[in-house]
């Protein structure tokens, strides 16, 4: 059972941690490259703000974005802003998301996200938590995958493993950190490949943040994952 109220609290804590981490930056720091190809740190901050507003749209029954071009144009428009403007936007948009999450609602209802993806309303706070935590890593502020909350890492690993489950281009794969295990890829009675690594390395590979060099495989090479 998804506890959306718990996840909303986790989103708030993650947002405050991110804002504190970048509060001492200069405007020049905002213009520096992030760890995401083609995006500056300003692009990441702008995306976080616009994503919060987009998820408010989802919770309130409106389209998440008008279209992909508008989404990208808004991020490009907002990326060059001064640090104080970026931080105010991230904080104010986060507050709007929290307010939308606190409104009385049927959390069992189905909502639509981008590209026709549907999910339960109760999972939207977790999706926002994912955005904040992974993009905090992308900002390169000294917050790494190893620093993510253990609960978050386990849940996001399970979420991404489920996302690739049944994908025809991914062989039947068992993932394990030595304690827990997940399955992904094509359905089969027995996995073709077992991938073993630390929780951070497994998540980094599934989330496209690491190339899998820290992982070991048995039964075949490390599978190539499709884009998220």
pLDDT tens across 111-121, in order?
999 989 999 99
What is residue 186's predicted lDDT score, i.e. its pLDDT? 97
pLDDT tens for each residue of 97-141: 999 999 999 999 999 999 899 999 999 999 999 999 999 999 999
Go through the chain and tell me how many residues it has: 228
Sign of CA dihedral 76, 78, 81, 86: negative
What is residue 5's predicted lDDT score, i.e. its pLDDT? 98
Give the mean model confidence (pLDDT) for residues 155-164.
97
pTM: 0.97
C-alpha 158, offset from chain centre: 13
Token digits of residue 155 = 């849940």
Q: How far apart are CA 182 and CA 13, in angstroms?
A: 28
Decide if 177 contacts 199 (C-beta within 8 A).
yes
Helix 199-206 vs helix 150-164: crossing angle, to nearest 10:
40
Of all helices (H) and strands (E), which one includes residue 194? strand 193-196
pLDDT class for 68, splitting at 50, 70, 90?
Answer: confident
What is residue 71's predicted lDDT score, i.e. its pLDDT? 94
Q: Is the pLDDT of residue 72 over 90?
A: yes
What is residue 1's predicted lDDT score, i.e. its pLDDT? 78
Residue 132: phi and psi, rounded to 5, are -70, -45
pLDDT class for 194, splitting at 50, 70, 90?
Answer: very high
- The pairing of beta strand 173-176 with beta strand 193-196: parallel
Per-residue three-class SS string for 140-184: CCCCCHHHCCHHHHHHHHHHHHHHHCCCCCCCCEEEECCCCEEEE
- The closest alpha carbon to 106, from 166, 66, 59, belongs to 59
- Cβ partners under 8 Å of residue 165, min gap 6: 183, 184, 185, 187
Q: How far apart are CA 52 and CA 140, in angstroms?
A: 21
What is residue 76's predicted lDDT score, i.e. its pLDDT? 97
pLDDT tens for each residue of 2-52: 999 999 999 999 999 999 999 999 999 999 999 999 999 999 999 999 999
Sign of CA dihedral 128, 134, 140, 144: positive
Decide if 151 contacts 165 (C-beta within 8 A).
no
What is residue 78's predicted lDDT score, i.e. its pLDDT? 98
Token digits of residue 120 = 């339960």
Q: Which residues of 141-156 are buried (b: 16+ CB within 10 A; e: fewer)?
A: bebebeebeeebbbbb
């Amino acid at each position: 059972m998804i506890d959306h109220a718990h996840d909303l609290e986790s989103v708030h804590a993650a947002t405050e941690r991110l804002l504190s981490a970048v509060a001492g930056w200069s405007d020049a720091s905002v213009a520096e490259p992030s760890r995401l190809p083609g995006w500056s740190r300003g692009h990441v901050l702008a995306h976080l703000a616009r994503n919060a507003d987009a998820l408010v749209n989802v919770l309130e029954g409106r389209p998440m974005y008008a279209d992909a071009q508008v989404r990208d144009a808004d991020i490009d428009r907002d990326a060059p802003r001064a640090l104080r403007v970026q931080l105010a936007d991230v904080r104010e948009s986060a507050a709007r998301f929290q307010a939308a999450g606190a409104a009385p609602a049927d959390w069992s209802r189905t909502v639509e996200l981008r590209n026709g993806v549907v999910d339960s309303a109760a999972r939207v706070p977790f999706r926002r938590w994912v955005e904040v935590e992974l993009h905090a890593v992308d900002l390169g502020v000294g917050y790494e995958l190893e620093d993510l909350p253990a609960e978050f890492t386990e849940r996001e690993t399970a979420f991404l493993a489920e996302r690739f489950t049944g994908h025809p281009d991914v062989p039947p794969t068992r993932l394990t950190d030595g304690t827990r295990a997940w399955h992904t890829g094509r359905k089969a009675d027995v996995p073709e490949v077992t991938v073993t690594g630390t929780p951070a390395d497994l998540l980094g590979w599934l989330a496209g943040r690491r190339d899998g060099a820290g992982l070991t495989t048995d039964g075949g090479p490390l599978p190539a994952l499709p884009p998220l």
